[in-house]
Structure 1
Amino acid sequence: MPSPFLSLTWTDDVTGRQGFLVVDRLVRGVSSGGLRMRPGCTLEEIAGLAAGMTLKEALHYDPDARYVPLGGAKGGIDCDPRDPEAYGVLVRYLRAMRPYVETMWTTGEDLGLSQDVVDRAAREVGLVSSVQAVYPLLDDEAAARRRLAEAFEVDVDGIGLDELVGGCGVAESVLTALDRAGAPRWRTRVALQGLGTMGGATARFLARAGLTVVAVADIKGTVANPAGLDVEALLAARDAYGTVDRAALRPGDRELPGDAWLATEAEVLVPAAVSYAVDTANQGRITARWIAEAANMPVRPEAEALLAARGVTVLPDVVVNSATNAWWWWTLFGDIGPDADEAFAYTRRAMRALTDLTLARAEADGTTPRAAAHALAADRLPVIAERFGLHR
């Protein structure tokens, strides 16, 4: 793997906590990747995520679209977002990273951080926006910023459009895999780890597509019902961190240990919370046919090899959860407007095409979907570099 364009570690002079920034690649001088906050976050983790962002951007390259893929990057802070000191750490981190946000790194919400918190901290340190580095690439900056701001104001059944598009993309990847395999939706059960931004939206779209959500795990444990959970009731009863108020559970809902979601009798598992959730020690408990990586890097490579050997297909994060990032740029560059129906239709079309292409390439090459996605990105990166130049 090539060395990243930039890699740095920051230490907070107040708390001693560390933060990281890795810019894996620049395209037209700009990169894209969210900012996460979680205890135990490491530079190695952020480097892997930044490389993944390079792949996600390349996979969405369409020479006929207005959206021009950027390079890949990622930021991370080793801190519990629930810690009373977390916001101050975030502000000081962004103050230190301000030169990079202004010139080369566009960022936004990720694990542990919501977009409104990122925006508030960005304003506090004098940034125009967390994505301001891309503004010089826009044909009409004022119109583009207005379009994105209006899109963030769109609410669909109590949830913001910005939260829903990522889950729409995950769901479409799952549905594409099911359709290719001839698996009926009404007989497909789903278990999710995480009911936050990505997990909650994914659960909603899969339930509305006719699948049965039988288990959901949050920080308190796993809630399960083999007959199906009331997804909308759980979404309405969750807090800002995706934790469900147990008072909302129905008589048939059971409370199980936190890792019970792994062994749930379901055809589809959706890890939508933390990285490295599936490893060699616990992968043997999985009986599902598909794992859709709504989180970043939830399945360790060694575990994925063991899963593949026994017929479990891992739909990779670089494909499955890429719609969140792409939606920002589809909207900002003007491929879509600030409208929910238009956003969902575009997302479904793009994600179905990308997932189908990935699975077809995997079948043709006799390899895994992840290897196929990497091969597709490897085909496109030189094309992008030739068209826009390579900034490394």
Structure 2
Amino acid sequence: MTTAPFVSLTWTDPLTGQRGHLVVDRLVRGVCSGGLRMRPGCTLDEVTGLARGMTMKEALHYDPESRYVPLGGAKGGIDCDPRDPEAYGVLVRYLRAVRPYVEHFWATGEDLGLTQDLVDRAAREAGLVSTIQAVYPLLDDEKTARERLADAFRIEVDGIGLDELVGGCGVAESVLTALDRAGTPYAGTRVAVQGLGTMGGATARFLSRAGLTIVAVADIKGTVTNPAGLDIEALLAARDAHGTVDRSVLRPDDHETPGDAWLAADVDVLVPAAVSYAIDTANQRHITARLIAEAANMPVLPEAEELLAARGVTVLPDVMVNSGTNAWWWWTLFGDIGPAAEEALTHVRRSMRTLVELTLARAETDGTTPRAAAHTVAADRLALIEQRFGRHR
């Protein structure tokens, strides 16, 4: 899992000088999968770590009885503020530059800073048929499969697209599974969520509807708190495209606090669902939560996680917790599930609960952290995939 990546490259935009990166950690059946993010400060090292994580996310969902066979892991990243007026042009030029990779072996989609609609629009302008066209040769019936996925993307549930909901459903189910194993009732369990975008927003909805109390939500403007619980549905309805909440919808007993207040909130569960590297060795000491669910990619630095573990804080790792979105794409495209909200969410819940149960049991048996256990499970399944399909072909 620590070998050199199959492909690693950096591109420089000729008009703005902004830099973009693409890392392919490995291929399975000649194809890899991983989203494209855009954020200021995005580095090649960051993208390399994310690509390696995608290899593990894919492997964790391997089921030899499924039509979907996990792909290799990859990631793209652009060092640019998505709110910059030049950002869309940079995105289009990046996709033009990496077009041969997308056409032949890199299936990609939205990630931090980008929506799927925006990525799809830019991809068309860059001359691509689809951002996942590299997978099409693996399908038994491409036309039917593409129609099935398109139908799934058109589904909305209470104002939020199914493609947004599945990821948050997976995060929420991970939290609920951990609480069930610990014998912790949902009622009275307090939660803070950093980020109310695609992943954080859906996670907040599912946890709130499960009976947990969301007492703090952070976005780029700061943290909104209410010890009695926030009205999550009202906040979700008042978000802009970047997950920023219109403060005019806040109730009199909702409070605006500094941006980092979510970290030290008096809660049982912490859900970092925004940027990478949010929790470091300095600020981890302010965390009072006993459970952290990594909805974002790489939000907890390894050194910080060691300190948290020493304090008895459990970190549910990103490679497991936020893997539901990626798996849902492929379950739908390959035909393991149909384009229906109830079927999709039921499948995500069942799959994530099974995976989290397995990982936490492995951690308990081995006397390791959930992250180490998840890596072990992924390595075991990756070995089975390689036995069946080989590597880098």
Normalization by structure 2: what TM-score?
A: 0.99
Partners of 2:68 and 2:211 in 1: CA distance: 32
Q: Which string of whole-angstrom CA distances, capped at 9 and with x for unpartnered residues, describes residues 227-267 of structure 1?
A: 00000000001100000000000011000000000000100
Secondary structure in 2 aligned to 1:173? Answer: helix
Name the structure 2 match of 1:111.
Answer: 112
Q: What SS class does the counterpart of residue 192 from structure 1 fall into?
A: strand
| Distance apart, 1:295 and its partner CA | 0.1
Give structure 2 stretches of 5+ with no counterpart.
Answer: none
Q: What corresponds to 1:227 in structure 2? A: 228
User: Aligned residue for 2:183?
Assistant: 182
Which string of whole-angstrom CA distances, capped at 9 and with x for unpartnered residues, describes residues 258-279 of structure 1?
A: 0000000100000000000000
Are residues 1:318 and 2:308 paired?
A: no
| Deviation sequence 1:102-145 (CA, Å, 0-9, x none) | 00100000000000000000001111100000000000000000
Q: CA deviation at 1:388?
A: 0.9
Q: 1:207 is matched with which residue?
A: 208
Q: Secondary structure at the match of 1:149?
A: helix
Q: Percent identical across equivalent pairs?
A: 80
Q: Which runs of 5+ in 1 are unaligned?
A: none
User: Where does residue 59 of structure 1 map in the other structure?
Assistant: 60
Aligned residue type for 2:148: R
Aligned to 2:249: 248
C-alpha displacement at 1:217, in angstroms?
0.3
Q: Once the 2 structures are TM-superposed, how far is the Cα of residue 389 of structure 1 from its aligned partner?
A: 1.3
- What is the aligned partner in structure 2 of residue 352 from structure 1? 353
Corresponding residue number in structure 2 for 1:163: 164
SS of match in other structure, 1:65: coil
**What letter is aligned with 1:310?**
R
Name the SS for the 2:98 alignment partner.
Answer: helix
Task: In structure 1, give the amino acid aligned to 2:248.
Answer: A
Using the alignment, how far apart are the partners of 1:381 and 1:153 within structure 2?
33
Give secondary structure in 2 for the equivalent of 1:20.
strand
SS in 1 for 2:362: helix
The one-letter amino acid of 2:131's match is S
- Secondary structure of the residue aligned to 1:345 is helix
SS at match of 1:46: helix
Between the aligned partners of 2:199 and 2:311, the Cα distance in structure 1 is 28
Alignment of structure 1 residues 22-61 onto 2, 5 Å:
22-61=23-62
Alignment of 1:48-87 (within 5 A): 48-87=49-88
Q: Distance in 1 between matches of 2:341 and 2:141?
A: 22
Given residue 58 of structure 2, which amino acid in structure 1 is its aligned partner? E
> In 2, Cα distance between the equivalents of 1:187 and 1:362?
27
1:375 aligns with 2:380: no
Give the distance between the partners of 2:379 and 2:134, measured in 1 at CA: 25
Give 1:382 deviation, angstroms: 1.3
Deviations along 1:326-362, one digit per CA (max 9) or x if unpaired, are: 0000000000000000000000000000001000000
What CA distance in whole angstroms lies between the structure 2 residues aligned with 1:239 and 1:120? 19
SS at structure 2 position matched to 1:262: coil
Counterpart residue number, 1:100:
101
| Residues 1:128 and 2:144 aligned together | no
DSSP 3-state at the match of 1:77? strand
Separation in 2 of the partners of 1:377 and 1:236?
37
**SS of alignment partner, residue 173 of structure 2:** helix
Alignment partner of 1:27: what SS? coil
Aligned length: 392
Indicate the SS of the match to 2:263.
Answer: helix
Where 1:186 maps in the other structure, the secondary structure is coil
Runs of 4+ more than 2 Å apart: none
Partners of 1:47 and 1:126 lie apart in 2 by: 26
- Aligned-partner Cα distance in 1 for 2:103–2:323: 24
Mapped partners of 1:333, 1:160: distance in 2: 20
Residue 146 (structure 1) shift? 0.2
* Counterpart residue identity of residue 71, structure 1: G
List aligned pairs for 1:235-274, cutoff 5 A.
235-274=236-275
RMSD between aligned residues: 0.5
Letter in 2 for 1:77: I
